[in-house]
Structure formats: C-alpha cells, structure tokens
Structure 1
Amino acid sequence: DEHCQFLSEKLGIFKRFLEDWTNKCDDLGKVEDLERRIRDVSYRAQDYVEELAFFSWKDMDLLKCYDRVYSTKGCLSQIVDETKLIELEVMKIYEQMSCHADVNASESYLLESSQEKSPAVQDIVVGLDDDVLEIKTRLCSFSSKLEIVSLVGMGGIGKSTLARMVYDDSFIQYHFSIRAWVTVKDHQVKGLFLGLLDGIVEFIDEIHEKHSEQLEEMLYRKLKHNRYLIVLDDVWSTEVWDKVRRCFPDDKNGSRILLTTRLTEVALLAKSDSAPYCLKFLDLEESWELLCQKVFGRKFDHSDLKDIGKKIAERCQGLPLTILVVAGQLSKLQRTRMCWETFAKTVGSTVTD
C-alpha cells in the first residue's frame, strides 16, 4: 500500500535523525517532543497495519469488510498527515543547526565537493536561508511521482550556489539514496551522461568508449528503483532537456530533478506541477552585509566607511556574485575613506567588466 511505503521511508529517516542529532541540538526539549511524537505515530501505524493484515474477515459480509478497510485506511491517512508535519519539524531543526554552525566550518563544508562536479561555491551568500528551506520543501514534498523543481534567475544571482547548498544539505543526503550533479552548459549529450554517471558509478576507461545510447541505458538502470536527486545546472536550451529526459525513470518514489536556468521558457518546458522558483535580488541591507563579510570578516570596526560602503553595495544591483567580485577588489585597497570614495566612482565599470 502507498501509505505503508511512505510511512516506512519516513520513519527510517526519523530514526536516523534521532540517532544523529539527539546530542547535537541545543533545544533537547524539542528533540524529546519529536521523539515522543515519532514513537506515538509509529505505534499507531503498526497497530492499523497489523489490523489490516491479521484481522479475520471470513465472518463479515462484503459491505462490512469494505467499511472496515475504508475506515482503517482513513486512519492511516491521518497518520500520514501527522508524519508529514513531523517531517517539516525535522527539516526546521536541520536548518537551525546549519544556521548555528561555525562560519568557517560552514565554508569548508560547502567547498568540500569536487569542483569538477559543480562550479566553486562562494563562501557564504546571505539572504538565501528562506530560499534553501523552500527548495528543500519542494524536493521533499509529498508527491510520489517524479517532479522537476526549476530555479530561475539572471546570471550572478546565486542559482548554482543555492542549488549546491541544498544538494549538500544533511537532510537531503538522508532523503535521496542517489545524488548526481552536472553542469549542462557547453556539454554534448555524451558529456552530460558521463558527468551524471561520474557521481553514481566507479569510473573505468571503458565507459568513455561507450556510445551515448549505451550511457543513457546505463544511467537509467542505475537510477531505476532508487529515489534520486539529479541537479542539471545552467541549462541553456530546451533541446538539452528533450535529449536527457528519457534517462530519468519515474518509479513513483519521490525522485526529483533540480534544474537551474536563466531562461523561463526552459523552466516552463519541464512542465512541473509547481511553478518555477525565481530568485530575488538582495536588498540593500543584505548586499551590505555580504560585502562586509567578504571584506572585513566577522568584525566590522570601520564605521566611517559604512555610508560609502553601502553606496558601493547598492551599485552592485543586488547580485550576490557581483558583490563578491567587488568585495575582492575592495579587499586589495587600504581601508581609508579616500580609497573607498575613489573606488566608488569606478565601481560601475568594475561591475560591467
């Protein structure tokens, strides 16, 4: 039954969560409350499943049997709804633990992944916390069919950075048994298949000698019967999606494809049940916060530079990667008002370059 499969998967995730995070979370009361709710929902689910499996139906007429099954499945449906609420609470705790992690540890964690599999993730991008939670929620939604989640935004707004933050998230690693990432831009179809297989199978020289069709079949077989997350980063054309979509099986197990693109028409072509997620620009305060982090680190003790610094941040037009470039230039200058004012006059051309 679909309900039983769902409960089995989620309760397994909850068990690992309790094993890993009981001694790591500051709010032990919240974890203990979740443990109590998880135990309660587990026992109730077990009772109803056993009732369906072992109840004696032979002395009941067909109508009563139907009513009994319908009633029991209705109770299981309620348990599924409660399980979904618990899952959201678990995701929030993962999110809170990430926010309280040491900044340097977070930076090294984000940069652990091979740069061959994705572009280098910039240190920390402020203003993405809500975006991360929203994308995680979409990826772990309760729809069992294969879904495409699309991130849309102009170059430099942080699509790849957001995708990488989600991809490397602890809860996402638990949720999906297979994860693979490929940057699509400038890749031929064979290169895309090789890039995806690189994250799934142990590479041997013979793989490079295979034709695209053979690689496609190999990828399909590896993904089949697994709940997987595939990231297609920087998709520039609808033709690319048309060529690779066949290799993603839909086993109705909650697999997901996360697609980033600058082009709305590419996102719409994926025909997901959810609308494309459009990344917003950073506001002035967020822009200034990011600029400060990159130039001064944790401690900002140059109040005389704040007003001119905010003007520089404003001219970056809310683009995180532009701010990082400008911050890199500022870091090379003396931290005097005269130097910063001179730089502010030329920041427009720096952004353009």
Structure 2
Amino acid sequence: MAMIAVQVVLEKLASFVAEETRFLGGVRGGIVELLDDLYSMKSFLQDAEERSESDQGLRAWVKQVRDVAYDAEDILEEFMLRFAPSHESGFIHHLRNSYRSIRKLSARHRLAVQLQSIKARVKAISERRNAFSLNRIDMPSTSSATVEKWHDPRLAALYLDEADVVGIENPKHLLVSWLVEGEEKLSSISVVGMGGLGKTTLVKKVYDSHPIRRSFDTHSWVTVSKSFASTELLRVALQGFLVTANEPVPDNLQSMTDFQLIDALRNYLWRRRYVIVLDDVWNVNAWETIKYAFPDCNCGSRIIFTTRLSNLAESIENTSHVYELQALLENEAWTLFCMKAFRGEHKAVCPPELEEMSRNILKKCEGLPLAIVAIGGLLSKKKNGGLEWKKVHDCLATELKSNDDLGSLRRILQLSYDNLPYYLKQCYLYLSVFPEDYLIKRMKLIRLWIVERFVEEKQGFTMEEVAEEHLVLAFSQSSKLGGPMFFLFPFESTSKK
C-alpha cells in the first residue's frame, strides 16, 4: 500500500513539474525537492513492506510513509485546483484574473507552508529508516531478507498426512502416469493454479508415491519462490539428488560457483533417469538460469514445475503437459471443512444447528483448500457455537487481517498481491470501495480508474484502451488472488459502451 501511495504521488509530481512550470512560481523548487526525497524513500520501500509482516516497528514506519504520501497528494491536488491557469480570454477575464491574483497570494503562502511541513515530515521519516537497516532496492529483489523473516506458508503443504487431503486422487494418478509413461526424451510437466489451491500438496504426494520412487534413479525437490538466487537453487538441487541416493555431499558444496554446480549436476545426472520438482516458480528467469544443469540423455527424465502463472507454464520449453488445478467440488469442500471444523468429539460431523451457518461460511471459501483449512481450524476453537460462528461469518475480512490462525492464508494472498505490478495494485485496491458481490459496469470502472489517474498514457493508444488492457490483465491475475475480480463480469468486449 505504501509503495502504491508513493508511486502515485511521484507520478503526479513529475507530471505537474513538467507541465505546469508556468504557474508554480516560488514553490517549484520545494516540489522538486519533495520529488527527489520521495524517489529516494521509494527505493527502500520494497524491502520495508516485505519485512513489515514480522516487525511492528517497521510496520509503523511503512504506515507513516503511506500517510505522508496521501497528505502530499492532497496538497498537490489543492494547488492544481486553485492555481491551474484559466483558458478564458478578454477584458472581463483580465479584471477577474487581477482580483483572483490578490486572493491567491494568501492561499499560495498557506500551501507553501504546508509543503514545507510535508518536506520536514518526509525528511524525518527517511532518517528513521536507518534504525531498520533497510536495503535499497531499485530493481526486483533477489535478497534473502524475505526468506529469513517470512514464515513460509508452503512448508505445511509438504508434510500433510494423506488423511488430511481431499480431492487429489484423480489428479495424482494422472500426474503419475504422465511422469512414468511417455517419450524417453527429457520433458517437463507444469501444475498451474492460484495460491492456496493445493499445487504443492498434490505434487508432493506424487513425488513421494511408490511408482515415482520405483521408476526414477534419483530425485530432488527445490522450492524456488519469488526471491531466488541461481547458486542456491543449483546447490539445493544437487544436495537433494545426492541425499535421496544416499551418496556423500561434497565438503565444498557451500563454496561452489554456478559453473562448478552445473558441471557437478550434469556429471551426476548423466545416464540416470531423474525427476526434479521446481516448486512455486514466479518467472521464467528462474528456469533459464539453471536449465543447463539438467541434461537430456534420453532416459525418460522429468521436470515438474508448480506455478501460479499459466503463461509461464506455456513459455517453458520441452513442456509435454500442463495440468490446471481447479477448486474443490462442493462435496469435497464440505468434507474438508467438516474434517477441520468438527474435530474430536464431533468426528468430522457437522451438528444440525450449525449446518446452515457452516455452508454460508464455506461459500466464502470458493473451494480454496487453504481457505477451508484455515477457517475451519479457526472455527474449531470457537466454544460458543452459532454466536461465535456468526461473528466470524460477518467479520471475515477483519478476522483475516487480525487473527493469527489465518496467518498462512494471509501470507499466501500477500505473496500473490506483492507480485502484481504497482499499477495493477492500485486498480485492484480501488475495487474495495464497492460493496461485496456488487456488479460493476466495465466502462464505469475504466472511467473511474482514468479519473483517479491510475492509467498512464501510452503512445498509439487512448486512455480507455490502456485502462481496458489493465482490466483484462487484472481479470487474468484475479485467479491468483481469489479476489474481487471474481464478482465483476460476465466480461464484455470494448465495443459495448
């Protein structure tokens, strides 16, 4: 949120300084200084927002940044409203303009004072960042800061008992057949689906199954994530192959370079039938940096990718199959919900007096296993039956934000949200002003985005066409978030006004 707020203000300030030099007068220098200060602060915000989940002090600092950005935007818009040049002409306009100029002197002075106050706040907030040892990030981060601070919500998916998993038997058998059968050349399989749908759980059950263990000589599992380093991916892959084959790990593994690791992997895997899982791949660069480590020696080797991005799966070479994981069917979702919400004495059976409320809560989960498990686990701790359950139903958004039992769900959604480009983040968050389940007219939304300056000019396109592009992209990204775009359409073409 703070990154979006600062980005919006930066764009408005830059445009304002470039286009409205004529009437900025003495405050132009102050606005340019504010622009420079905000640009500097923005470079630290990505690291701050990633780490703020587990650091209360840093969370407060990010809020201060967001608040000062909003205040700066308010002052800028008031300045534009009061001092933008009029397009009237003639003698009457000249008289009006003279009168207005006198009145504007005090207003200009007041806004200049407010601008100085904003600059002082920005400077003080910027200086306080030193207490948090923030890293400057001008490009997408490859640091391990997030990994160190972030409790990885995917870990639990790797260690679920078979009895705790619902609806995976058919896809499991299908994936096993794709891996074991088929051509002898090296090929890849991608499992695609939104965060929390169970990709990691499904593939781990396949990876650990007897047919896979029996059919392949060696195996390795690598969790990739959004922040990755090629050296670490190669190191984990090599160590995984060696450990599963009960072979010694080199003493110098930690000091090996990328070239040494690639050579070691190629030499070890040559003439072996291997399978490797690359879990949670966010962009094709993660694969491009390590693909030469995996030779094709016509032994029937396989590479499995899990990803939230269908276009990424399509761009990977040697792809033989793409499996798109779907939400749970209604009966499967109900079974899983009862398993989690009614443990112990209830033996996974919903009491009649709670069934209607349970099904209403379950509808909000949209068949998403992670949401069902998290909310079911939360409800299993509620002692006062229907009253407590109704409170959860009515205040689910608040519970998601504040309840520790829903932390894994919150983190999965945060990962997806963080991966959106900033211009989509602000468009997405704007949808929160509409009531839940409200049907938003497409052209109305496009025009609102344009008015709010969420849409940048693009050469050769109208603003409406650029906004439409944002809308199509937001719609395609919504499956990763399980978010409000689900409630927007049937989608219509741009020709319908």
| TM-score bucket of the superposed structures, by smaller chain | 0.5 to 0.7
- Give the aligned partner of residue 333 of structure 2: 287
Structure 1 contact 322–351 (Cα < 8 Å) conserved: no
**Equivalent AA in structure 2 for residue 177 of structure 1:** D
1:351 Cα shift?
A: 4.8
- Give the aligned partner of residue 352 of structure 2: 303
Residues 348 and 282 of structure 1, relative CA distance in 2, 3 Å threshold: farther
Q: Percent identity?
A: 34
Q: Is residue 142 of structure 1 aligned with residue 174 of structure 2?
A: no
Unaligned runs of 5+ in 1: 1-114
| Aligned match for 1:162, one of 176, 197, 202 | 202
| Aligned match for 2:170, one of 130, 138, 142 | 130
Matches of 1:277 and 1:215 in 2, distance apart? 31
Matches of 1:153 and 1:141 in 2, distance apart? 24
Matches of 2:367 and 2:360 in 1, distance apart? 12
- Give the aligned partner of residue 26 of structure 2: none
1:254 Cα shift?
A: 1.0
SS in 2 for 1:127: coil
Q: TM-score, normalised by structure 2?
A: 0.46
Matches within 5 A, 1:1-353: 119-121=155-157, 122-123=160-161, 124-185=164-225, 186-201=227-242, 202-297=248-343, 298-300=347-349, 302-334=351-383, 336-351=385-400, 353=410
Structure 1 contact 316–351 (Cα < 8 Å) conserved: no
Matches of 1:335 and 1:312 in 2, distance apart? 16
Matches of 1:273 and 1:163 in 2, distance apart? 16
Matches of 1:299 and 1:319 in 2, distance apart? 19
Structure 2 contact 341–378 (Cα < 8 Å) conserved: no
In our comparison, the structure showing a higher alpha carbon Rg is: 2
Structure 1 contact 178–227 (Cα < 8 Å) conserved: yes
Residues 294 and 174 of structure 1, relative CA distance in 2, 3 Å threshold: same
**Equivalent AA in structure 2 for residue 341 of structure 1:** K
1:273 Cα shift?
A: 4.9
1:199 Cα shift?
A: 1.3
Q: TM-score, normalised by structure 1?
A: 0.64
Runs of 4+ in 1 over 6 A off after TM superposition: none
Deviations 1:206-254 (A, max 9, x none): 1111111101110111111111110000111111111111111111111
Matches of 2:263 and 2:271 in 1, distance apart? 14
**Equivalent AA in structure 2 for residue 327 of structure 1:** G
Matches of 2:318 and 2:351 in 1, distance apart? 48
Deviations 1:288-316 (A, max 9, x none): 21111112244415122122111111101
Matches of 1:302 and 1:335 in 2, distance apart? 13
Residues 301 and 327 of structure 1, relative CA distance in 2, 3 Å threshold: closer
SS in 2 for 1:232: strand
Matches of 1:200 and 1:190 in 2, distance apart? 16
Residues 136 and 251 of structure 1, relative CA distance in 2, 3 Å threshold: same
**Equivalent AA in structure 1 for residue 221 of structure 2:** W
Superposed CA RMSD: 2.0
**Equivalent AA in structure 1 for residue 296 of structure 2:** D
1:325 Cα shift?
A: 1.1
**Equivalent AA in structure 2 for residue 178 of structure 1:** T
Structure 1 contact 287–314 (Cα < 8 Å) conserved: no
Deviations 1:260-292 (A, max 9, x none): 011112211223453411000112222121111
1:176 Cα shift?
A: 0.8
Matches of 2:370 and 2:350 in 1, distance apart? 24
Residues 345 and 235 of structure 1, relative CA distance in 2, 3 Å threshold: same
Structure 1 contact 326–347 (Cα < 8 Å) conserved: no
Structure 2 contact 188–321 (Cα < 8 Å) conserved: no
